[in-house]
Structure 1
């Protein structure tokens, strides 16, 4: 599954176009390698996403083409969530 589609289906990022823009800016890594929006995501991959002052690291648990809002968090496991201080 494409990276941008996974981020949308898992509801980590609400819109696929936003996920594509963030990935194409180099703010997403898959297994410690900078990824584009078209990068294939597999079960077991570790995604690191930078949102401004927040860095979210998740591990892919399963891949589904569609999901309901309640089941979206079952697609990934949060490894870490860190915040940088802004001075």
Structure 2
């Protein structure tokens, strides 16, 4: 289990999360408290990150920056693309 050290940040307190958790600056975590147990829920943050990736992917379609399968075969057929 990872441990998070609570630190003073200005007039508040906060924690530093391990990079492996995949959180990004500005992510909002939902917190549920059950006695002394704090449950951090990052599902909404993950959905927002996925939404941004999808929107960035569709930007290529809007700018017509795409290649058809036949164009890929023509360009990369010598490397066995499309076989």
TM-score of the superposed pair, with normalisation by structure 2: 0.24
Give the alignment's TM-score, normalised by structure 1: 0.23
Q: Which has the higher contact order (CA 8 A, sep 6+)?
A: 1
State which structure, 1 or 2, has the greater radius of gyration over its C-alpha atoms.
Answer: 2
